[in-house]
Amino acid sequence: MTEFTADDRRQMAHAIGLSRRALGNTAENPPVGCVIVKGGMPVGVGWTQPGGRPHAETCALDMAGGAARGAVAHVTLEPCAHHGQTPPCANALIRAGVARVVIACADPDPRVRGRGVEMLRKAGVTVQTGLMENEARRVLAGFFSRITRGRPHVLLKLALSADGKIAETPGRPAAITGKHALARAHLMRAQSDAILVGVGTVLADDPSLTCRLPGLQGRSPIRLVADSRLRIPHDAKLLRTCGRTPTWIFTTIAAREKALELQESYPHLRIIPVAHDEAGRVSLPAMLERLGGEGINRLMVEGGAHLARAFVEGGFVDEAAIFTAPEKTLGPGGLEALAGLPLAALTDAPFSLAGETPLGADVLRVYEKPGG
């Protein structure tokens, strides 16, 4: 076991905090954080830049300049070893004269996978791994999922009344949770690479699915609709704004004629036909695999109830964010969150409670499944 100092821990916590800034903004690359420390003081900090480049280490080294010589670098992911679209970070750290590198997680990318550590050690740099690995991995979960499972990490978001309902009646959206919960949900959008709804939600709510937090309007995820027969209305907000915010519709071959029409009206729209399941709906495994292939690390699923149920039943949910309004009930006629499936499917084993946050009168509970 490597011994880490309290200061190493403090600096790595800082690096993990920096990596969070990049969450949802780096796909297909991972959001990485880096803090370079000399004499106990950070001399360079960095995180992966929008679109995934430059890498975190490059930014931190740029800031540190000559002060990097003899310094310690804390990185949340093993520095890369390959000549990809950028030269290897391991080389850059060696060239800058960094004496020691502390790493939280090894990089599962087959182009790196241990080679970053090897390059550094060969050059005489002291390397220590595994510091705050679990915490760093939380931020990197999307990248790990895509590299190791070929599909994005899936976050399912639900907003529930005290009696577990998501709307009063089908087709009529109800404001259930308050403004603090709404702001948190928008932050989750910003931290996702893509956000998905079923066409039923488009028909019922005509949503925008953008992040509208002040200062983060540019961080809206790619908007996805699962719509096997292309029932999306021609004047849906998602379509009318698809030139501004990328919008993709997953459909099936059954809708090919409608697809041609829609594409003609909306040249910026991406229509992606995938396989269908026995019921003729968009196959979730096929869609997830396609999203992995498109470099999507983190997918947020926002409804409706039937799509949520299909994700839960397929075992595709890695994390559930459940907002509850304890003071509001919608009564027995209300729409159930998982279309008849008990909520325990998201709150009991293999899921476990990872965090509970009060948000005004509401509560957010996050449940996680190991291996997500």
Residue 300 in contact with residue 347, Cβ under 8 Å? no
The answer to whether 80 contacts Zn ion (rule: CB under 5 A) is yes
Cβ 79 to ligand AOF shortest distance, Å: 4
Is residue 112 a contact residue for Zn ion (CB under 5 A)? no
**Residue 279 Cβ, how far from ligand AOF at the closest point, in Å?**
36
Distances (CA, A) of 208 to 50, 237, 286, 369: 22, 6, 25, 29
Sign of CA dihedral 224, 225, 228, 229: negative
Least distance to ligand AOF from the beta carbon of 295, Å?
10
Q: Where are the alpha helices (DSSP H) in the chain?
A: 6-21, 56-64, 89-95, 115-122, 133-149, 179-190, 199-205, 237-240, 256-265, 284-293, 305-313, 344-347
Catalytic position from the list 3, 28, 57, 356 = 57
- Residues 353 to 372 in contact with ligand AOF, rule: CB under 6 A: none
* Least distance (Å) between residue 58 CB and ligand AOF: 8
Q: Indicate the residue whose CB is closest to ligand AOF.
A: 84
Q: Which does 32 bind (CB under 5 to 8 A by kind): Zn ion, ligand AOF, none?
A: ligand AOF
Q: What does DSSP assign to residue 282?
A: B
Q: Binding segment for ligand AOF among 3-11, 72-80, 127-135, 235-243 (CB under 6 A)?
A: 72-80
Total Cβ atoms within 10 A of residue 353? 11
Which one among 18, 19, 55, 127 touches Zn ion, defined by CB under 5 A? 55
| Residue 218 β-bridge partners | none
Residue 12 sits in the site that holds ligand AOF (CB under 6 A): no
Interatomic CA distance for residues 20 and 17, integer angstroms: 5
Is 57 a known active-site residue? Answer: yes
Q: Angle 192-194-195 (CA atoms, 0-180°, nearest 5)?
A: 95
Q: How many residues bind Zn ion (CB under 5 A)?
A: 3
Q: Which is nearer to Zn ion, 81 or 230 (CB)?
A: 81
- Contact flag: residue 115 with Zn ion (CB under 5 A): no
Q: Does 57 bind ligand AOF (CB under 6 A)?
A: yes
Question: Does the footprint of ligand AOF cover residue 74 (CB under 6 A)?
Answer: no
Question: Applying CB under 6 A, which of residues 44, 52, 207, 303 lies at the interface with ligand AOF?
Answer: 52
Nearer to Zn ion, 67 or 75 (CB): 75
Cα distance between residue 104 and residue 74, in whole Å: 8
Is the Cβ of residue 137 or residue 229 nearer to ligand AOF in the bound state?
Answer: 137
Closer to ligand AOF at the Cβ: 81 or 238? Answer: 81
Q: Which residue has the tokens 């760093």?
A: 136
Cα–Cα separations (whole angstroms), residue 242 to 219, 324, 340: 15, 31, 33
Q: With binding defined as CB under 6 A, does residue 312 bind ligand AOF?
A: no
319 binds, among ligand AOF, Zn ion, none (CB under 5 to 8 A by kind): none
Q: CB-based contacts of 195: which residues, under 8 Å, 6+ apart?
A: 189, 209, 221, 222, 223, 224, 299, 300, 301, 302
Peptide bond into 28 cis (omega under 30): yes
How near is the Cβ of 18 to Zn ion at its closest, in Å?
15
Give the C-alpha separation, 67 to 372, whole Å. 38
Over the window 84 to 123, marking each residue x when it contacts ligand AOF by CB under 6 A and - when it does not, the resulting string is: xxx--x-----------------x-x--x-----------
Least distance in Å: CB of 80 to Zn ion?
Answer: 3
d(CA 342, CA 328): 19
Which of these segments, 40-48, 61-69, 86-94, 215-223, binds Zn ion (CB under 5 A)? 86-94
Q: Tokens 């509560």 correspond to what residue? A: 363
16, 27, 32, 120: which one binds ligand AOF (CB under 6 A) = 32
Contact 181, 364 (CB under 8 A): yes
- Cβ neighbours of residue 21 under 8 Å, at least 6 residues apart? 31, 33, 47
Which residue ranges make up the site for ligand AOF (CB under 6 A)? 29-30, 32, 48, 52-53, 55-57, 77, 79-80, 84-86, 89, 107, 109, 112
**What residues act catalytically?**
57
Which residue ranges make up the site for Zn ion (CB under 5 A)? 55, 80, 89
